[in-house]
Chains A and B, each alone.
Chain A
Amino acid sequence: MTAALRFDPIRLPEKCEQLRKEVRAFLAEEIAAGTFDPHKPNREDTDAPEFSRRVGAKGWLGMTWPKKYGGQERSFLERYVVTEEMRVANAPTRRFFVADRQSGPVLIKYAPEHIKMDILPRICRGEICFAIGMSEPNSGSDLFAAKTRATKTDGGYLINGTKIWTSSAHIADYMIAIFRTSQPTKENRRHGLTQFLVKMKQPGIQVNPIGQITGQYEFNEVVFTDFFVPDDHVLGEVDGAWKQATSELAYERSGPERFLETYYVLTELVRAVGPNPDTRSAEGIGRLVAQLHTMRRMSVSVAGMLEAGKEPVVEASIVKDIGTVWEQQLPHRVRDLAAFVEETASNRETLERQLDFAIKTAPKLTIQGGTTEVLRGIIARGLGLR
């Protein structure tokens, strides 16, 4: 067969279940203490720095990283459990999520040792927040059209230009961004971009909030004006960022956050229909649960491949394609079924409030972190069509 895709039935090892209990107990305590409301969707503009530190103190940030950088050297499957439990509980993970998933691993791979020793332990302690500087006003999915310039100067680079749609830039301590250090060549239009570590909250960087259709202000425009980045903040090869991007995608695209973003409406629907649902509600819920279970099994399978040192880029793209389309449709399917929920259901107001927010959130889910179109292009390449 030309198109061999495997999703082996990976099971989470026993140690994960012990960890899951610990995470649930911790979250229950936080909920009891009023840190967050699990019935309230995880508003991404909610910043919870103290919660972030307490998660760090538990050893649940950077948990797969080397101990010398503050990590725990635990498995990807253990990290998976922490991530999914936080997501399902609607815990406010915004402050640490990007650093833990993405920025830390990039630094481990490409940053000089003294920077790793400085920054990684602070991520693990939940002290610092990262943003990702990819998109520009005229460069979104087409990453390699980025124009923001990094011009060589004494001891470093001067940055001029604008990044946009940058989540959390208004609270971030650092950004990992790509800037143009050379022009693309005829042979390789991806050439000429370099990955940099940027220390935020300094003169030369202006962060302008952008309102989203949900009513949140969690992404931003970030304007750089003659902003200085020292040489040791270059991450990886100058002009060669394109070589560094692909392997990270599997981590970014296959996690539980790629199908659980609107999960709360399903829980609340089950609560609203009660223990003896009519046939219509039962069938609707049954299908949604079957789809959810299947995606989670695919996602865990990819986590198992990552743990085994593979780079399942195509498989991860499939998980994100199916997962994000599902979580985008979920509030609408739940709305269909909720139309017949008894007026007297005790959680009716909660469900309606959640649906209102989830329906507004839904359009972004198939755009952020790689659009459906980009993902299907990657899958098609994997099938040998491009």
Chain B
Amino acid sequence: MAESDNIVVETAEKIFADLADPQTVNNDRKDSWQAPLWQALSEAGLPLSWVPDDLGGSGASLADGFALLNAAGRFAVAVPLAETMLAGWLLAQAKIASPEGEMTLLPASPKDWITRDADGALSGRARGVPFAKAAKHFAVLAHGKDGVSIALVDASKGRIETGLNVGYDHSDTVTLDKVQPVTIKPAPKGFDQTTMMLMGGVARSLQIAGALEAMLDISVRYSNERVAFEKKISKFQAVQHNLARLAGESAAALAAATSAADAIANAKSFDDAVYLEAASAKIRCAEAAEKGGAIAHQVHGAIGFTLEHILHRYSLRALAWRDDFGSESHWAVELGKLVANRGADELWPLVASR
């Protein structure tokens, strides 16, 4: 996307351009860019975009927040912006105010489960939690005998085993062992872990789509600069056709992600249609991350395989984002079950309803 048409995205893009320029960030081995970036984002109220004013946030619309995440993907932003936004959104579902500082949310995989005792203490293990190590607080979805709760938890109360995803961002295992939350409230009626995973998956889809847009952009530029066999490699038909396919993957990811974002932003409930949109976005964007990223690397040759080049900041992150909040394999199985369960003659009406 060439230019943004909303103030939230404009603000974010300016901050990203100033403080999260991929080349500058990539050259900085000490990660000294992180603190000023987070500070600027926080001062602009962006990490709590999805938290209403009365709960301590800046009360942006779901649509603006999704557009912001797409922009963050275009800069391969590697601070817990998406995670804090999602955590704030989760807390707001139960009318819990968001504290200042970095947050993340758990569980981050549909296979993990946090339980709540009769006395309100939380227990369970959540794997692959993005940026858990950097978080001051966790937003937690927990299951008790009387239903689903949402809790705010002091991050220092959890045991964290750190790890890195394929994009070199923190993806940690968090274990809660009878942890008393700061605040805990019942989740709204109908809100469950699947809702949370679908929302997280759409956030990741927009980030992947953004990363693909950037990969297309830098690959096209590189092909117009690099000379081989006495001509620009962009003049070789094989390269042109590869880039055309990358454009297709980028377009498909963007279309799937923005459609799902639009569906959620305008949804009254997470019905089958929203499920189709959100699950499809995660599946299709993950596929595009694989196919598109491979082409971007192919166009760049050896230079794109080096740490000094920025391409990996996009390509590896896009691959890593596939795993969060349910992989494409997970969602494909779930979507397939939903479709089969509705029956063959209900497939087209579902697709056509979007």
Contact = CB atoms under 8 A, between A and B. Distances in A.
Given A267-B344, A270-B340, A285-B339, A298 B332 contact: no
Given A5-B251, A293-B277, A380-B244, A88 B348 contact: yes
A2 B333 CA distance: 37
Interface in B300-329: 328-329
Contacts of A384: 220, 224
A229 interface: no
A296 B354 CA distance: 9
Contacts of B2: 1, 4
A287 B256 CA distance: 13
Q: Which of B216, B235, B331, B332 has the most CB of A within 10 A?
A: B332
Interface in A273-328: 273-277, 279, 281-287, 289-298, 301, 315, 318, 321-322
B interface, over-half SS: helix
A380 B335 CA distance: 34
Interface stretch (B25-33, B103-111, B178-186, B278-286): B278-286
Given A3-B217, A274-B340, A287 B332 contact: yes
Contact of A289 (B251, B336, B343): B336
A338 interface: no
A262 B216 CA distance: 31
Given A9-B258, A377-B240, A379-B247, A275 B331 contact: no
Given A1-B1, A2-B221, A8 B258 contact: yes
B240 A386 contact: yes
Given A270-B340, A298-B252, A282 B332 contact: yes
Contacts of B337: 277, 282, 286
A179 B256 CA distance: 42
B243 interface: yes
B336 A294 contact: no
A299 to B, nearest CB: 9
A291 B284 contact: yes
A292 B351 contact: yes
A285 B334 CA distance: 10
Interface in A6-44: 6-9, 11, 20
A271 B248 CA distance: 31
B276 A322 contact: no
Residues of B in contact with A, size category: 35 or more
A7 B245 CA distance: 16
B220 A273 contact: no
Contacts of A4: 1-2
Contacts of A291: 283-284, 287
B142 interface: no
B234 interface: yes
Nearest to B239: A385
A268 interface: yes
B336 A5 contact: no
Contacts of B328: 287
Contacts of B336: 277, 281-287, 289
B121 interface: no
Contacts of A115: none
Contact of B224 (A5, A85, A277, A385): A385
A122 interface: no
B216 A271 contact: no
Contacts of B216: 3, 383
Contacts of A292: 351
A1 B340 contact: no
A267 B240 contact: no
A373 interface: yes
B345 interface: yes
A377 to B, nearest CB: 7
A318 B241 contact: no
A9 B335 contact: no
A383 B340 contact: no
Contacts of B241: 373, 376-377, 380
A290 B205 CA distance: 13
Interface in A250-275: 263, 266-268, 270-271, 273-275
Given A290-B256, A296-B354, A297-B259, 17 more contacts: A5-B250, A5-B251, A7-B254, A9-B262, A11-B354, A266-B347, A271-B344, A273-B340, A276-B341, A285-B335, A289-B347, A293-B256, A294-B281, A294-B284, A301-B255, A376-B244, A383-B216
22 contacts: A1-B214, A1-B217, A3-B213, A7-B258, A85-B352, A88-B348, A281-B340, A286-B279, A286-B283, A287-B287, A290-B256, A290-B280, A291-B287, A293-B351, A294-B280, A377-B241, A377-B244, A383-B243, A384-B220, A385-B224, A385-B240, A385-B243
Interface of A: 1-9, 11, 20, 84-85, 88, 263, 266-268, 270-271, 273-277, 279, 281-287, 289-298, 301, 315, 318, 321-322, 373, 375-377, 379-380, 382-386
